[in-house]
């Protein structure tokens, strides 16, 4: 039949498509296996700290308004929010460090 595809032409087409797909994939910068850049991790940590502060401030202010004890809960929950934000930042730093340790171990095995 004249409509049957030529196997050689099909293999050549598949090879060209594979080459084009490989060129279209974005190149990663940084270390192998790195999910986020240092800037992204930094912004994540700052966001966690600010979110903790704002949530603590909001809860403290809300309780002070409801109970009529303006500075007491505001200061207490703002400090608790700060502590929670720092704790979240530390968890992020530990997870990044653990990923870096795993990545460096994998690179050592490749060498």
C-alpha gyration radius of the chain? 27
Residue-level pLDDT at 9: 87
Residue-level pLDDT at 74: 95
Residue-level pLDDT at 27: 58
- Who contacts 80 (Cβ-Cβ below 8 Å, separation ≥6)? 56
d(CA 44, CA 95): 13
Residue-level pLDDT at 84: 96
Comparing CA positions, the residue from 50, 56, 47, 98 lying closest to residue 75 is 56
Residue-level pLDDT at 70: 83
User: In degrees rounded to 5, what are phi and psi of residue 31?
Assistant: -80, 155
| pLDDT tens per residue, range 4-34 | 778 888 899 899 888 888 776 665 555 555 5
**What is the token pair recorded at 60?**
């403290």
| pLDDT tens per residue, range 51-89 | 999 999 999 999 999 999 989 999 999 999 999 999 999
Is the pTM here over 0.75, yes or no?
Answer: no
């Amino acid at each position: 039949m004249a409509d049957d595809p030529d196997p050689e032409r099909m293999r050549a087409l598949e090879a060209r498509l594979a080459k084009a797909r490989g060129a279209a994939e974005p190149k990663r910068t940084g270390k192998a296996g790195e999910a986020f850049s240092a800037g992204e991790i930094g912004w994540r940590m700052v966001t966690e700290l600010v979110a903790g502060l704002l949530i603590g401030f909001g809860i403290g202010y809300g309780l002070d308004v409801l109970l009529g004890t303006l500075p007491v809960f505001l200061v207490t929950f703002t400090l608790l929010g700060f502590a929670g934000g720092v704790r979240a930042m530390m968890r992020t730093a530990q997870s990044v460090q653990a990923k870096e340790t795993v990545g460096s171990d994998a690179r050592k095995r490749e060498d």
